[in-house]
A and B are shown apart, each in its own frame.
Chain A
Amino acid sequence: MTSALAFDLALAALVLAIATLTIAAREAMSAVISFIAYGLLLSLAWVRLRAPDVALTEAAIGAGVTGLLLLGAAATIGDRQAGAAPPLALMLAAGLACALVASGLAATTLVLLPEPAPTLAPPAMASLATTGLGNPVTAVLFVYRALDTLLEKVVLVLALLGVWSLAPDRVWGGVARLGPDAPPRAMLVFLAQLLPPVGMVIAIYMFWTGADHPGGAFQGGAILAAMWLIVLTARLADMPATSHPGLRLLVLAGPMLFAAIGFAGWALADAFLAYPEGYAKPLIILAEAGLTLSIAATLACLVAGPATRTPPP
């Protein structure tokens, strides 16, 4: 147990150190790079917390796709002047307040939480059999709390709409620019040719295994998105125009399919987002398949940003 404890201690210290570095870094780019490292380390912490699904999500989305997004932004903006740092007194006050909050929260989690801890694991596991799924996290996401998941997909689409809406009027429906204007480096092109097939296999495996093992639509979608982004950055393929019906269908198919399954549950089973007896697992896998594709498209489009060029004729 002591080696595990030592590992945890070292991990936590490292996470904190890198987080401090991220906050305190002088340059935006180094902050973003250390943030990515931070995300990857954090997914280790999630493994230690026996949450492999979260670890995968954190690595893929929290560190991976978010990192890509921030890298792009940092590369564009750099460290251009954004106003002076607040006066020292305010910094001190902020430091004090944040220290108070942190210590308060630490005290709350360490002292005030009840023992034994209340848990929903037993009912979640007890009902797992009726869903036909093996992974309780997937069961929570797609069965018990499916409404959250559905609404969260709408949030994702809405965020994409919000990003797209920032395109100037004249290029509405146009193509997003990705990466620098300079021709891509050979190494990138090589990677873009090599990685995607592997990535796609991993992604499909992730989504497929999600029903019973760690993994699922988010993680699979994130990996697919990353593959697509590599291909796009390497100019091996063009980003479709944001007005392209196919792209919009790709983005919307997953959430709409999920909503349709929900309404079918209302018609065929007892309730909205209920699954008919015995069809739960196939329906969930169907929904996840659609969502994986939609998530991949949405994440990639979110990273690519609003259109900057007029649509091709």
Chain B
Amino acid sequence: MADLDPWLAATLLLPIAMLAACGFARARARIPDLLWLVPLPALFTAVVAPDGAELVLPAARLGLGLSFRLDRVGAMLLGAAALLWLLAGVYARAGLRRTPGAAAFAIWWLLTMLGNLGVFLAHDMVTFYLFFTIASLAAYGLIVHDQSAPARRAGRVYVAFTLISEAMLLAGFVLLAAATPQHGIGIDEVVDALAQSPWRGTTMALLITAFALKIGLVPLHAWMPLAYSAAPIAAASVLSGAAVKAGVIGLIRFLPFAAPPPHWGQALAAAGLVSAFYGVGAGLFRANPKTVLAYSSVSQMGVLATVLGMGLMAANRHTAIIAAFYATHHVLVKGSLFLALGIAASRGWRLWVVAALALGLAGLPLTGGALAKAAIKLPLSDGAIGLIADLSAVASAILMFHFLRCLVCAPDAEPAPPATRLRRRAWLLLALACVAVPAALFPRLELMTWGEIFGPKPLWDAAWPILVGGLVTLARQSFYDRLPVRRAGAELGVDHALLLISRRFGDAVVAIDQHLRQWPTAALMFVGLVLVLAGALLMR
């Protein structure tokens, strides 16, 4: 069966089966313990399934169905995400045991995972939209898990952003289909047909905005610090590490690298640059390590958007794989940094591991981050842009030093339950993967040789931003106490204002409705409509 890869099928069926099992009370109690098992088939798929493995559900032959395909880009992200889901699942297990909301958490977890894994495999727009939506909506449950006021607020903001992103995505997809012969929905064919689309500009705008919302490009990032600060550590880890990559894979899949329309590359790159620096700037004023990491995500996704934008400008097909590689590293490193917050990593040798991971984001030599930075240097290598890339590395380094400082100074973000040995091992494994996975994948990219990485010049190139960052941090030390530290997402007082406005608006609508539903008004409206409709019909 050429079109039915068993691993691929198992990747999706296992989470679904687990979800189905949640319908039974006895099974439901056991599910939280088994969460970590669920991404195993996905991990195998990513490792063993051949490039181009396909899965087409039978219904697809009738018309609408779901079709999946694994390629190198998808496999990298799928593997990294599955690994993170697995280890974060191990981590979550300890905290969930016999807590009242465990089953609900497990359901949201499984749904988010299902959506997240599926989105890397989707081969047509409907499938993509399905899994993208599942992951996005289910993440709401993870964010509001502890039902505290900040969590509910974060959930509300997140849902607003997500639903708007979904709507824009759907609009973009419909425009893509409308421009495709026979209104096909295969991702390859619609992206090819985009060049001839009469709505090319609108389509690009909708898709880029939708995915930018998902990856939190400034100014569409407002939900991200709130959500990651409010979510439990395990959830924040998978959301920031894995779930956000749905937006990255979206950009990779749907940007027309082969025949890019003018200006969109510049726009995306510019937005990415703004995000890259804004994230750092904003993160420096936060004290909560979770919030700092969230802003780091804003910044890192900005870097990624810049890479994709530059690739689009240059019509460089390789951009996809490079961006995927960078994202793969980010999956693992951001996931493990979040998990570090719950295992008392602020002391002893573990602090050094955290430091290596954190500075890896700035390209610390001999880490996975250095490879990731090296890979994206290619599209970013020319002149002024190269300088900006270096500056971004410096900025990342400064932010990460700040994070380390917050980690050391702040008490554990989630003191109870105590860090178990299992949790620490899971975390350590993940930290190892941050080096091992990029190292294993890097040669396959065939971008450059190890020699080009380990030469003295490249090592120096990677190291000096860290040194500069460290020096700046030391210099900053003296001001530290004077700096105003802001609460997570405080600049988002806007959401209160918006909430108030929408509440006013809602009240107005309710008032209108009550008025319209009075008998004389409604009956008069009836007569009025008869007259208006007759008038409209007579108007020829």
Contact = CB atoms under 8 A, between A and B. Distances in A.
B531 A86 contact: no
A104 B531 CA distance: 9
B528 A86 contact: no
Interface size class, chain A: under 10
B534 interface: yes
Interface string B525-540: 0011011001000000
Contacts, number: 20
B527 A101 contact: yes
B520 interface: yes
Contacts of A98: 527
B305 to A, nearest CB: 56
Contacts of B441: none
A90 interface: yes
Contacts of A101: 527, 530-531
Question: What is the predominant secondary structure among interface residues of chain B facing chain A?
Answer: helix
Interface in A78-104: 86, 90, 93-94, 97-98, 100-101, 104
Contact of A90 (B520, B530, B531, B534): B520
A6 to B, nearest CB: 34
Contacts of B523: 94
Interface in B508-523: 520-521, 523
A90 B524 CA distance: 8
A94 B530 CA distance: 13
A86 B534 contact: no
A90 B534 CA distance: 22
Interface SS of chain A: helix, strand, loop or mixed? helix
B520 A94 contact: yes
A97 B534 CA distance: 13
B528 A90 contact: no
Nearest to A90: B520
B161 to A, nearest CB: 43
Nearest to A93: B524
Interface in A9-44: none
A86 B518 CA distance: 10
Contacts of B524: 90, 93-94, 97
A203 to B, nearest CB: 39
A70 B90 CA distance: 75
Contact of A104 (B520, B521, B528, B534): B534
B520 A97 contact: no
A106 to B, nearest CB: 14
A98 B527 CA distance: 7
Nearest to B531: A100
B530 A86 contact: no
B520 A86 contact: yes
A90 B519 CA distance: 11
B528 A97 contact: yes
Interface in B282-318: none
A100 B520 CA distance: 17
Contacts of A90: 520-521, 524
A97 B521 contact: no
Nearest to A85: B520
Nearest to B526: A97
B37 to A, nearest CB: 55
Nearest to B525: A97
B533 to A, nearest CB: 12
Interface in A40-78: none
Nearest to B520: A86
Interface in A245-299: none
Nearest to A91: B520
Contacts of B528: 97
Nearest to B524: A94
A93 B531 CA distance: 13
Interface string A221-242: 0000000000000000000000
A100 B530 CA distance: 11
A72 B530 CA distance: 35
Contacts of B531: 97, 100-101, 104
B332 to A, nearest CB: 66
A100 B531 CA distance: 8
B188 to A, nearest CB: 57
A100 to B, nearest CB: 6
A90 B520 CA distance: 8
A85 to B, nearest CB: 9
Contacts of A86: 520
Contacts of A93: 524
B111 to A, nearest CB: 44
Nearest to B527: A97
A104 B537 CA distance: 14
A88 to B, nearest CB: 12
Contacts of A104: 531, 534
Interface string B38-58: 000000000000000000000
A98 B531 CA distance: 10
A215 B520 CA distance: 40
Contacts of A94: 520, 523-524, 527
A93 B525 CA distance: 10
B532 to A, nearest CB: 11
Contacts of B527: 94, 97-98, 101
Interface in A88-126: 90, 93-94, 97-98, 100-101, 104
A250 B265 CA distance: 82
A101 B530 CA distance: 9
A86 B521 CA distance: 9
Interface in B126-168: none
Nearest to A100: B531
Interface in B334-380: none
A90 to B, nearest CB: 5
Contacts of A97: 524, 527-528, 531
A210 B527 CA distance: 39
A39 B521 CA distance: 29
Interface in A155-186: none
A97 B520 CA distance: 12
A93 B534 CA distance: 18
A82 to B, nearest CB: 11
A56 to B, nearest CB: 32
A93 B526 CA distance: 12
Contacts of A100: 531
A3 to B, nearest CB: 38
B522 to A, nearest CB: 11
Contacts of B520: 86, 90, 94
A101 B520 CA distance: 16
A184 B250 CA distance: 85
A90 B521 CA distance: 8
Contacts of B530: 101
A86 B524 CA distance: 11
Pairs of residues from A and B, 6 with the lowest C-beta to C-beta distance, nearest first: A86-B520, A97-B527, A94-B524, A90-B520, A100-B531, A101-B527
20 contacts: A86-B520, A90-B520, A90-B521, A90-B524, A93-B524, A94-B520, A94-B523, A94-B524, A94-B527, A97-B524, A97-B527, A97-B528, A97-B531, A98-B527, A100-B531, A101-B527, A101-B530, A101-B531, A104-B531, A104-B534
Interface of B: 520-521, 523-524, 527-528, 530-531, 534
Given A93-B524, A94-B520, 12 more contacts: A90-B520, A94-B523, A94-B524, A94-B527, A97-B524, A97-B527, A97-B528, A97-B531, A98-B527, A101-B530, A104-B531, A104-B534
